[in-house]
Structures are given as structure tokens and as C-alpha cells.
Amino acid sequence: MTATISQSAAAATPAAPHLREDLLTPRFYTTEIDKAARTDLEQQRPAFEAMLAEMEADHNREHFDRKAPLDRLRALSPEAKTAYESYLVRSCVSEFSGFLLFKELSRRLFQAERQELGRLFQLMARDEARHAGFLNRALVAEGIELDLPKLSTKRPITWFPLSWVLYSVFLSEKIGYWRYILIDRHLKAHPDNAFAPLFDFFEPWCQDENRHGDIFNLLIRCWPGLKQGLRGKLLSRFFLWSVFLTHSLTVCERGDFYRLLGMDPRRFDAEVMRQTNRTARRAFPWVFDLDQGQYLELRDRLVTCFQQMQARKAEPGALLAKLGLKLRFAGLLLRQFCQPMVPAEGA
């Protein structure tokens, strides 16, 4: 199911509301499913069976009430309404992307007679579909109908090697956990800012994300070579950096949404990164030294430069100024990528 991303394919893609085509737009993915079918579970058998039993128990079955009203509790300004709807659309597409990846893995693993693995991915697909469904219902309450199946057939599919998927999905699930739990804690401390019933589901929601992250940690351990030597260090560096960068720029782009909740976007982003970096010690051999290096300072400069690039994009002319911003952004990216790391056991 490999597809090539091209300018023409992206241009032909019908835009969903609030979903413009850029580097931060959620994507749909596939991977080396035949290789995934060769995953050796025996060294991790007790942990695998415990995780499969926990997923089968479906602890959140009763928490996601399909009849629960998701209409907003108060009126918002047009700008605030746009910020909320943009958050819903991007989050919905992201959750649906996870559902499609897990569903395809499950289907092909069943075909390869890896019944236990197929069942595990089937259960993760169940959770992602549940999340996407709730977000889609919140969009319907806003008067927006998002045809997710149609969107998935029109958008290009990105192919990743299995090692990339294991590292990136572990991080995306864990960063999702910290994003949801920190919003949940903030809104419980400041209930006046909880303007939508959807936020009431964030606590059980984040537990699903946490379990999925633990499953991918287990799968990484099933491929010991992924954590060893230079390969392990490069994979750790690249995926921590790329996932953190995407998160920082996305939070910057959605800053109005977080301010609507009464949160400072940059402080929120920094705390999510710190907690996710700490959590990554359980799965990765190396993590960034966020407290001693310049990582967060460079994050601030990257966000500012990105905002300047976005502001200049619509301006006619000024080619040299735009090129200068792009070169500066590239230089900051390289500096951040090369920031110090520490062994996970010593982090």
C-alpha cells in the first residue's frame, strides 16, 4: 500500500475544513507489514500476554458514552471558534490515521497467522476509532461534517520502515498521553475554562494513549538491534527531535486554542516535552538533556522564525527576505538536532 507523495496528489486532495496542506498536516501511514509479522514475542511473552489481557479488558468501555452530549457549553468569538474547530479537525484526522494503520496491521497479521499480534493491533484500532468518533461527534456539534473514509482515500500515504514506525508511534502515543493529561489536570484546577464536555473524556482517553505507548515499548524490545550501538542513538535522536519539533510548531500554530483554555502554549509545550523525554528513558537508549543544553532556547527561536516565515508566505515579492528566513530556520534545526544527549539509564 505504498504511495508516493507528489505535488499533484496534494493539490488534488480536497481540503477538509481548517486542514491546509503543510508539513504539520496529519498524514496517513503504512509500513513493512511482512517484517512486522516476523516479530519474535518469546523473550517478551509474559509482558505481551499481560498487555493483551489488559487490552481485552477494555477498561474504558463504559467511559466513552456514545450518547453523551458534546455541544459547547458557551458561545465563543469567531476567532476562538475557529481555533477550537481547527484543534478538533487535526486531532480527529490524527486519531483516524492511527486507526487505519492499526487496522491494516491487524488485517495483514491475521492473514500471516500471527493471531495474537493481529488481535493486539485490532484492539488498538478499536481505541483509535473510538477517539476519532468522539472528535467527529464534537465536530458535528459545531456544524462540521468530516468524511473521514473519503479523506483517507484522497490523501497520499507515507511509507515508513518498521523501525521508524515503532519509534515514532511510541513517542506519538506517549506525547499524546502527556498532552491530554496536562490539559485534564489544568481544567480540573480551572473548571471555568472547560467550555466543552469533550474535555471530560481526556482522562480516560490519555490512559488509552499510555497503554498504546507501552505496547510499542514492548515491540521495540522484541527487536533488540533497534536499541544497540550507533543505530539506537541515531534513532533516538532523530525521532525525539522530529516529534518534539512537530509538537512545538503545532502548539505554536494552535496557540489560540491553548490560550482559550487559559494555558500558556510555550510553557505547555515545554512541559509536554520534558515529561515525554523522561518517559522515553523506558524505551530508548538515549534521550535529550533538556535541562542542561540549549534545546528549549532553540525551540523558542525556531517557533519565532517559523511564525515569521508563515507571516511572510502570503507577501508578494521579498524573495531574499524569505530565503534568509528559510536559511536561518534550517540552521536552527541543525543546531537543535545536534544538542547533547545522555544515556537513558543516567537521564
Instruction: Write the pLDDT tens digit of every residue in 110-130.
Output: 999 999 999 999 999 999 999
**Residue 14 belongs to a domain:** yes
Count of structural domains, the chain: 1
Residue type, 122: Q
Give me 141's grid cell.
456539534
For the chain, how far is it from start to end, CA to CA, in angstroms? Answer: 39
Do the Cβ atoms of 83 and 254 come closer than 8 Å? yes
**Residue 96 belongs to a domain:** yes
| Res 252: pLDDT | 87
> Average pLDDT for residues 215-231, to the nearest whole number?
95
Give me 35's grid cell.
517484517
Rounded (10°) angle between helices 229-253 and 319-337: 130
C-alpha–C-alpha distance, residues 338 and 233, integer Å? 12
Do the Cβ atoms of 166 and 223 come closer than 8 Å? yes
**Residue 313 belongs to a domain:** no
**Residue 295 belongs to a domain:** no
**Residue 301 belongs to a domain:** no
**Residue 186 belongs to a domain:** yes
C-alpha–C-alpha distance, residues 207 and 212, integer Å? 9
> Average pLDDT for residues 284-293, to the nearest whole number?
92
pLDDT band per the 50, 70, 90 thresholds, residue 60:
confident
| pLDDT at 55 exceeding the cut of 50 | yes
**Residue 99 belongs to a domain:** yes
Task: Tell me what the pLDDT averaged over the chain comes to.
Answer: 89
C-alpha–C-alpha distance, residues 133 and 126, integer Å? 10
**Residue 305 belongs to a domain:** no
Instruction: Name the residue range of residue 213's domain.
Output: 7-288
| Res 129: pLDDT | 93
Do the Cβ atoms of 210 and 174 come closer than 8 Å? yes
Give me 226's grid cell.
533497534
Instruction: Write the pLDDT tens digit of every residue in 194-219.
Output: 999 999 999 988 999 999 999 999 99
| Res 20: pLDDT | 59
Q: What is the CATH number of the domain that holds 188?
A: 1.10.620
| pLDDT at 6 exceeding the cut of 50 | no
| pLDDT at 2 exceeding the cut of 50 | no
C-alpha–C-alpha distance, residues 211 and 278, integer Å? 16
